[in-house]
Structure 1
Amino acid sequence: METLPWHRGEIALQQAVGSAARMAEIGPRVIRDRLIEQHALFYPLLPFVVLGAVDRTGAPWATLRAGPPGFLHVPDPLHLAIATQPEPDDPAEAGLHDGAPVGLLGIELETRRRNRLNGTVERRGEGGLRIAVEQSFGNCPRYISPRPAAFSDAARSAPAPTVSDRLDAGARALLAATDTLFVASYAEASGHRQVDVSHRGGPAGFVRIADDSTFTVPDYAGNRFFNTLGNLLANPRAGIAVPDFSTGDLLQVTGRTELVLDSPEIATFEGAERLWRLIPERVVFRPRALPLRFGETDSD
């Protein structure tokens, strides 16, 4: 009997929308325990990758790591290697040690291609990270705002990060204007922690922020895997990363979440099928954290 790649949170939401039977059929076919050739060829093209990690307090964090194309490579179908140095100012760093479960998203914004992977850090050494693959699968390109991205090796001096328990004016402005964020989440299944990181996008301003710093994110129609929302149903914690595409700044937030599955509020977000909220517990703003240059959004 084939083992389903879904945990109880994902299955519960699949059942709620009537897609559980189809996902039981599709899941084992599209979610693999290795990297297929198409994905192995894709990762070395990228100038950055998104990571999801969990620190020692159980807080999930999303982050970005960058390098010249080729800094990601696939030595064999069971592993992905990342040439990256430790970043002490990155709150996700504490969750990237040897043996840690991680989530990874390879995304090419310009072409809207993306692939997801989760696994375990098998080795953390001077050469960077080596991740043993547990699940690997493609994602549809919907809601990605196309824009070119390139690694920049220009010298940069990054100021010290600002740490708080709520959004300040700068963080609010960045979050309120963004069309792109990345969300890390995790769930425990059969004694094993599975970490996931994914993309969320929409028209600029698709995130709404309340006075108390709680913010609400719409969930649009998708592949109905419910990886992220299934995690939040099983374990209501999440971390987000929001890059500033004009400056290279990076906003990282971790906190508690709540799902809004049935409420008149959903209809106030055009096209949303459900909502989720993040109540910040720790906010880290890292000026000029990203050695990347992003082009203008392609409105087409």
Structure 2
Amino acid sequence: MIKLNPAADAGFHAGELAVQRQAGVLQDVARMSRMLEPVELSGGIAGFLADRTFLVITGRDAGGRLWTSPIVGPPGFLDVRSPTTLAVRARISAGDPLHGIPVGQKLGMTAVEFATRRRVRINGLVVASTDDLLEVAVEQAYGNCPQYIQQRLLTPDEPDPSATKDVRRGTELSPDDIHLIRSADTFFLGTVNPERGADASHRGGPPGFVRVDAGGLWWPDYKGNNLFNSFGNLAVDPEAALLFFDFPSGRTLHLSGTTQIEWGEVRRAGDDGGTGRIARFHLDRLVAGRLLGAHETRHLPYSRNPALTD
């Protein structure tokens, strides 16, 4: 079992520092390392979580494979039980790869309010797991900027037991999967650090910003807060889990595999963000179904999405 040691997880780790150094932002972000220090779930963060209805988690299934999955619930399903304890009072679908998630592992979470383009990232240790409860001992919690979040309203669906019958598991993308990826303006990226644990990160852009070709699927890295939490993890461990949605229908596509960071010429074809960085994902396993538990009723694209360059 992983032992809880918040002090050991404070500050940037070696992978984040390496990517920051290569990107030329090491000195600029040194003052931001305090964001990653242990915090209490109080004040604004607790209030934000109390009203949320959408959460994404990154963790391992019983076989140790990394996945990223959605959890939807009514306001209050994210229950701050103490300054360092978060209870997620909602059921993970029986067809979801993280259904029955084991305890004793570190979990990455991102709570998002799409309508106001707000998000909070939370990392911690799973100390309890039942059919309708996850209890997490929180180690880190901090807000992220609203960049690249598309505004949308999600309406919860009535529970549909038949949805699990249509879940497909495999190792190759279908034509429908490829269409979903190429149409997506949002996905979530799960990564892991051997010492720090898992992280769940939002990625957004114009439809088509995630490409699929003979080499797998890839996307350009955009300019952001320069913390490089995800890329820092990938620099030391290539494991990755991607989660795509068709928001109007509630379809989901869970991908598990590895991701490599590729550095190259700035503004080359596909470098939409002008950073010189792209991430290339190689698929090992997938789960496809209708597992979101909600559907989109309104949508407004982010006004500053970079233009596609190829």
| TM score, norm. by length of structure 1 | 0.91
1:44 pairs with one of 29, 50, 75: 50
What is the DSSP-based 3-state SS (H/G/I as helix, E as strand, rest coil) of the residue aligned with 2:162?
A: coil
Q: Are the aligned partners of 1:215 and 1:278 in contact in 2 as well (CA < 8 Å)?
A: yes
Question: More deviation in 147-156 or 38-47?
Answer: 147-156
Aligned equivalent of 1:120: 125
Provide the C-alpha distance between the structure 1 equivalents of 2:272 and 2:67, rounded to a whole number of angstroms: 28
**Quick one: which amino acid aligns to residue 93 of structure 1?**
H
Provide the C-alpha distance between the structure 2 equivalents of 1:280 and 1:58, rounded to a whole number of angstroms: 16
Residue-by-residue CA offset, 1:141-176 (whole Å, 9 max, x unaligned)? 001111112323364630331111111101000000
Unaligned ranges ≥5, structure 1: none
Provide the C-alpha distance between the structure 1 equivalents of 2:132 and 2:97, rounded to a whole number of angstroms: 20
Provide the C-alpha distance between the structure 2 equivalents of 1:247 and 1:101, rounded to a whole number of angstroms: 31
Residue-by-residue CA offset, 1:196-241 (whole Å, 9 max, x unaligned)? 00100000110110135x1011110000110101111110110011
Aligned runs of 1:1-300 on 2, under 5 Å?
4-29=10-35, 31-93=37-99, 96-125=101-130, 127-153=132-158, 155=160, 157-158=162-163, 159-189=165-195, 193-212=196-215, 214-263=216-265, 266-273=268-275, 274-286=277-289, 288-299=290-301
Q: Are the aligned partners of 2:154 and 2:297 in contact in 1 as well (CA < 8 Å)?
A: yes
Provide the C-alpha distance between the structure 2 equivalents of 1:167 and 1:266, rounded to a whole number of angstroms: 27
**Quick one: which amino acid aligns to residue 250 of structure 2?**
G
**Quick one: which amino acid aligns to residue 278 of structure 1?**
F
Q: Are the aligned partners of 2:119 and 2:146 in contact in 1 as well (CA < 8 Å)?
A: yes
Residue-by-residue CA offset, 1:109-139 (whole Å, 9 max, x unaligned)? 1110000011011112355011110111110
- % identical aligned pairs: 32
How many residue pairs get matched? 293
Q: CA RMSD in A?
A: 2.0
Provide the C-alpha distance between the structure 2 equivalents of 1:129 and 1:135, rounded to a whole number of angstroms: 17
Provide the C-alpha distance between the structure 2 equivalents of 1:34 and 1:105, rounded to a whole number of angstroms: 16
Unaligned ranges ≥5, structure 2: 1-6, 304-310
Residue-by-residue CA offset, 1:181-206 (whole Å, 9 max, x unaligned)? 001110112xxx41000100000110
Q: Are the aligned partners of 1:113 and 1:141 in contact in 2 as well (CA < 8 Å)?
A: yes
| TM score, norm. by length of structure 2 | 0.88
Q: Are the aligned partners of 1:181 and 1:241 in contact in 2 as well (CA < 8 Å)?
A: yes
Residue-by-residue CA offset, 1:84-129 (whole Å, 9 max, x unaligned)? 23533211235x2221210000001111000001101111235501
Cα distance change of structure 1 residues 41 and 279 upon mapping to structure 2, 3 Å threshold? same
**Quick one: which amino acid aligns to residue 244 of structure 1?**
D
Q: Which runs of 4+ in 1 moved over 6 A?
A: none
